[in-house]
Structure 1
């Protein structure tokens, strides 16, 4: 029995309902048939960046491919990552929602490893090197998958995994025969450059990390920020210090888009569950459970950098009014036809927060999908429930994770002497058409505070 309501409907399944393709019951049945196989070769299983790609793929895909996410090539190896997912890679796969039993032979496949012959019509590989990450067809010859190369910057395999799950989802949804047949990716060091696959980007070894951060909003994007931060090579003696701000509890629909949420957390405060996760990772946390608005004032001892994952306009308009030296904000599309799009802003910039974020139109009955009107007529929803459900965003965890990797890379690039982007616009269905104009803000005097990265293991 499906519990139908504004706080219970799976946000990714909602795409089929809002587009008019299926009723809610039909949409859940369609998603129950989505299966995915992830394969990893022995060399990459023993690399930290290979394991990052694997656990990120499983975590994201398990929220979309409800028929099962199967992992092939998983041997009893130690987990090399600092995430609190268990002692072995098998523990981590299970914790992230994956399976290691016999995989179906006809399901789409994502490979971590060197080029190989295609086994099914949709068979792609994730590739990453330095600050570059993306996807290629399984039989595509490349130089990014060499197991002898130095480990990639941790967010490059995260980005590649996000692109890969997006591509696999597009395959099962659209049945487009060209999906999965072309490379797609980007450099997190030079996001404006399009030759990410064939040319080195001059990126440095990751040696400096942020000391303190303020995270505003702990839902879809906010939890993806934490996932990405958790993969960075912090020394245990110099842990990341976090302020975590949110007012909401985890609801039944939250796990569909939020990478660190599980059904067991439903009803619990986001701040407290995320603080528990962060502290298990080894970070230090403080929590704030009040709405973020222009009434806040950042003290000299507070983090001077904020990562914003808010989905409300009043909060976003306050971002440049409270005293942060740098704000990096990631926003996502929310409709059935644009939920794969993302935009990252940095503040200060050419425009103020008031100029960037205008009032959003309210949902009126004329724009309510027919399925919600049918549920109202059947007495399942009342008028308020109908319009509230119609106004809830469509979302997918792979979009938020990609946005978080890009946003945090902006800060890492700044710490390593590179420039900020004014904004980054990207649609995961057309990665090669991203826009990333450089920021013109004078940040020469701004010191956000930093610590040195772990000298061994990940660079």
Structure 2
């Protein structure tokens, strides 16, 4: 059986965690099916962001098929698409459907016994439930919907592995007891995004979900040097089906520009000589996957840097970290003495990799063996948390400068005390427009 490159980093999770072969892992993924049931309580910015996010990330994990049923004729309440109805926006994302009963079902905005796993949101908080009925709370925040939809998919995926724990919640504005209502904050007017892999694309997804006023879209600088590869399809929310080889920045530019954002591209790696010009964004979102480039962000002229990191292995793949840095909380100090894992010259000592080496060669097996495990629902949640920090900074609000969470943990870890980043040159756009 030929290795399916599009699935390699998701299949690697099952291979490394359970000791099965890559063909066995791909076979298990190929029969995983998911049904997303949409109810009347989904008719809101948070609810529609939850449905669209759940479908976008699940179709890259549940390879047996994903179908969305229920009230799909609702007028669309999301800036993630220019379509008129929720159903049309789902069709724009990709094909859906399969025959027979679903292996697992999630409910979004449903009432009664419609869904084994139910998405929930309220203001800046979201989560998953396993109750017969759950009623969403304040529903004007699309970021809570993004996190809720992704979290429900993650809980469904883990349920098929026998490893889910419910209920579970996520707080996108941690560290404060009384966060502002979403209608009262200001949206970012300009951002520099480093890395257009799974995290960078998830940043764009959450930014596109924000309801900017017409003509007031955010100005973005997108920086990356890499090209879209087959391996990116299973982990990255914007990678199109069977279209590889383009620059990640160019692919991302086409998608986000169609949603009203103003784009500048930097198609090269981050270098030590980078200095931000007066008319360029002073707020950065970092989705870099190595430590050394992160250190290069110090003294570049950014007033604040929001840095996100993900787990790499089958034991910590659902862990994410969000840190905020400024002139007083320096990114180089934070990463002082931290080193990236050194790639091993050979693949892991597991039977699956020995068979893979015979199939694609020693170098290819070692490359996959050293690659990180990644699933797109974790990136979506981490990115929503990062964009929430960007909103806090642009709104002059204190937020937690450091947070590490693991989605499968039974309890959420404590976060750093709220902190008001010291910024002078970061502007903001309008308040959310609904």
Give the conservation status (yes or no) of the 8 Å contact 2:175–2:418.
no
Structure 1 match to 2:155: 167
User: What is the CA-CA distance between 1:116 and the residue it aligns to?
Assistant: 1.7
Match for 1:228 among 197, 202, 206?
Answer: 206
- The runs of 5 or more residues in structure 2 that have no matched partner are none
Matched positions, count = 431
SS in 1 for 2:119: strand
Question: 5 Å matches for 1:33-432?
Answer: 33-44=31-42, 46-84=43-81, 86-97=83-94, 99=96, 104-105=100-101, 107-117=103-113, 123-140=116-133, 144-145=135-136, 151-173=139-161, 175-176=162-163, 179=164, 182-191=166-175, 203-348=181-326, 350=329, 352-356=331-335, 358-364=338-344, 365=346, 367-376=348-357, 378=358, 380-430=359-409, 432=411
CA distance in 1, matches of 2:299, 2:350: 38
TM-score by length of 1: 0.87
SS in 2 for 1:404: helix
Structure 2 match to 1:196: none
SS in 1 for 2:429: strand
User: What is the CA-CA distance between 1:51 and the residue it aligns to?
Assistant: 1.2
User: What is the CA-CA distance between 1:115 and the residue it aligns to?
Assistant: 4.2
Comparing 60-69 with 202-211, greater Cα deviation is found at 202-211
TM-score by length of 2: 0.92
User: What is the CA-CA distance between 1:321 and the residue it aligns to?
Assistant: 2.9
| Cα pair distance change 1:420/1:220, threshold 3 Å | same
User: What is the CA-CA distance between 1:131 and the residue it aligns to?
Assistant: 1.3
| Cα pair distance change 1:109/1:255, threshold 3 Å | same
- The runs of 5 or more residues in structure 1 that have no matched partner are 194-199
Give the conservation status (yes or no) of the 8 Å contact 1:131–1:152.
no
Give the conservation status (yes or no) of the 8 Å contact 1:208–1:452.
yes
User: What is the CA-CA distance between 1:271 and the residue it aligns to?
Assistant: 0.7
SS in 2 for 1:11: helix
CA distance in 2, matches of 1:337, 1:90: 36
Give the conservation status (yes or no) of the 8 Å contact 1:11–1:256.
yes
Q: Deviations over 1:355-399 (max 9, x none)?
A: 4262223233384543223332x2x23332232221111100000
CA distance in 2, matches of 1:101, 1:374: 32
